[in-house]
Amino acid sequence: MARCLPLFEALVDLGAGNCEKAARLFAPFDVRRYVAVDISVDYLRDSLGILRRQHPHMELLGVGMDFSAHLALPTEAGPGPRLMFYPGSSIGNFAPDEALVFLRQVQAAAQGGGLLIGVDLVKPGAILEAAYDDPLQVTAAFNRNLLLNLRRLAGAEFSLTDWKHVAFFNQTESRIEMHLEALRDATVRWPGGERRFAAGERIHTENSYKWRREDFAALLESAGFRDLHCWTDERNWFAVFLAAA
C-alpha cells in the first residue's frame, strides 16, 4: 500500500476512535501530521493524549465534529494534500446515495491527496447474519444499549427486557438490518409523550450496506476518485481501496 500512496501532508482519520489503526500506519506511510476526527470528543482527547506521549515529534491534532451531514475541516488541520482514512466498514452505514454525497465531500477535503477506505463485501447471508447476531450477544448488547441511551438522553422509560435484538440480511437492499422487536405489548413514556408498541413491532436501528467490489469501485469513481487500487482477503469478504483524489 505504501508504494501506491499519493503524496500527502497529513493523514486524516475519519471516526478515529482510539486511533490505533491509524497509528500503525505512521511508520510505514511516513506520516508527519495526523488529524483525528471524531464526534466523541472526550474519548478522542484521551486517545490523542496517549499518542502524544508515544510520538512526541509528530504533529497531532484532534477535531471534534459530526461529519455525516457536512465534512469541512478547520484550517488548523493544515494544508493539503491529505490522505483521508476511513477504515473498517463504517461506509456501510450510509445508504448508497448518501455514501456518494459523503465520498464527494471526502474527495474535496483530500485536496488532491487520496483516500484509504475499508468496505465490507457481499458474502453468504448466513455468514453475515452470524456476524450481526453472535452467540455471545455482543451485537445484541450494542443494539439494546440504544434504549439505555434513549433513557439517559430523552428520559424514555424503555424496559430492556421487553425488547429483543433482530438482525437479518436484506438481499434486495444488500444490507444487514438491525431492529429491536417488542416481545410483548409495551408503552414507552417520556417527558411530554408516550408511544404504544404492539408485540412483534420493530424499531429499525441500523443498516450496514454490503458492496460488490466492482460497484464500490464505480461509486468511488462517481465521487471523483481515480487510480484505484484494491486489496481483498482470499475469500473476497472484505476490501480495502486506495484511490487518488
Ligand X SMILES: C[S@@+](CC[C@H](N)C(=O)[O-])C[C@H]1O[C@@H](n2cnc3c(N)ncnc32)[C@H](O)[C@@H]1O
> Contact positions toward ligand X, by CB under 6 A?
15-17, 21, 38-40, 66-68, 87-88, 90
Smallest distance from ligand X to CB 115, Å: 14
Smallest distance from ligand X to CB 204, Å: 18
Smallest distance from ligand X to CB 40, Å: 4
Comparison of 98 and 221: residue with beta carbon closer to ligand X? 98
Comparison of 142 and 168: residue with beta carbon closer to ligand X? 142
Residue pair 6/245 in contact (Cβ under 8 Å)? The answer is: yes
How far, in Å, CA of 90 to CA of 15, rounded? 9
Comparison of 35 and 186: residue with beta carbon closer to ligand X? 35
Residue 8, classed as helix, strand or coil, is coil
Strand runs labelled E in 121-237: 163-170, 175-182, 186-190, 193-197, 202-209, 226-232
Smallest distance from ligand X to CB 113, Å: 18
Comparison of 26 and 197: residue with beta carbon closer to ligand X? 26
Comparing C-alpha atoms, which of 121, 45, 109, 41 is closest to residue 77?
109
Smallest distance from ligand X to CB 78, Å: 19
How far, in Å, CA of 157 to CA of 106, rounded? 39
Residue pair 102/134 in contact (Cβ under 8 Å)? The answer is: no
Comparison of 67 and 197: residue with beta carbon closer to ligand X? 67
Residue pair 70/98 in contact (Cβ under 8 Å)? The answer is: no
